[in-house]
Amino acid sequence: MANIRERNGRWQARVTLDGQTISKTFTSKAIAQRWARQQQVDFERGLITPTRPTITLGDVIDRYLIEVTPQHRGAQQEKYILKVWRLHLLAKLPINEIKPSDVAAARDARLKVVSSGSVRREIDALSAVFSHACREWQLCDANPISSIRKPAPGRARDRRLLPGELGRVVAAGHKSPDLDAIIYLALETGMRRSELLCLYWRNINLKDRAAHLPITKNGDPRNVPLSREAVAVLERLPRNINGRVFSKNGTSLSDAFTRAVQRARREYEAECLEGGLEPDPKFLINLRLHDLRHEFTSRLIEGGFNLIEAAAVTGHRTLAMLKRYSHVRHAHLLTKLDSISPPVLEQNQPNSQGCEHNS
């Protein structure tokens, strides 16, 4: 495509060849037009090979964050992860020159800093960028991540609430609006952080004790049954003019919960010091907001829900994933085991029934 325009009494010809624009200025319009036509002819005959501008991985990530990420449900988390890659040395390399060994080296370096599960999520996010750049933008020939090994999934967390922890966290977080309500709802419904924060009053039916989730992490809508405690929590909340139940975003909620746990731990340690007691090394340590979903799921199983029923409540699509989220207490297993086990020792006591008598 050629474009001829006058600038300061001279004529500039601009020609776009294979996505790259070249230009030149002439004293007359006719000369400019002839030059432009000649460039197009030379390009078609293969006499001109335009040099493509260098496009780095960082350039592609920037474009991906603008054009693609906002369309994803997990946009906030993806944005955070890709900004980590944006600061990596890989971001300075031309995207079509990045080799699998380059990504493997970055993977191994990250494994020394964060968990394998975190690295796996980071690799998946970067892989999505490469795949989109190859398929949609034709900026590279292949996805280098498809040729490397991903870290194994991290071990499933088995953190359960200890007696007294929840009350202390709620008390320590009283300055954060709605934090107590969110904590109680997370424990009473098992909803994910994103699901809690996307609740709208129009999707809640307190009479039928149900909360409808039009969009969930796995893409399937579901109805969440509300316990009486959950209904009581919702009834106490004020109605926002925008129709949302909660106004927090994911980052502010997680930060508020973390601060509350840390504050509660400090208060607990101070009480132990004052009373001359040794603090429990596990109490209020390594407790995350998402652990409340684990706790809820585990309580469902302990309460007698079968796996199909539990999955219908929690929204897990596979029983394997449900298993990762349920950690039944050992004491509960012992109680159930005792309830179904017959008194073996009494059964084996000698008795006269079935004995033969000699006459």
- DSSP codes, 28-48: SHHHHHHHHHHHHHHHHTTS-
What is the per-residue pLDDT for 145? 93
> Is the distance from CB of 257 to CB of 289 less than 8 angstroms?
yes
Equal CATH topology for 57-147 and 165-290: no
CA distance 98 to 94: 7
> Is the distance from CB of 319 to CB of 288 less than 8 angstroms?
no
What are the residue boundaries of the structural domains of the chain, listed by start? 2-44, 57-147, 165-290, 298-340
Q: Which residues are catalytic?
A: 192, 217, 290, 293, 316, 325
Task: Output the average pLDDT for the chain.
Answer: 84
What is the per-residue pLDDT for 139? 84
- Under-70 pLDDT residues of the chain: 1, 17-21, 49-53, 154, 218-219, 323-334, 336-359
What is the per-residue pLDDT for 317? 75
Give the bridge partners for 14, in sequence order. 3, 23
CATH class of 165-290: mainly alpha
Rounded to 5°, the CA angle 178-180-183 comes to 110
The architecture CATH gives domain 57-147: Orthogonal Bundle (1.10)
Q: What are the structure tokens assigned to 222, written together?
A: 């579901």
What is the per-residue pLDDT for 311? 83
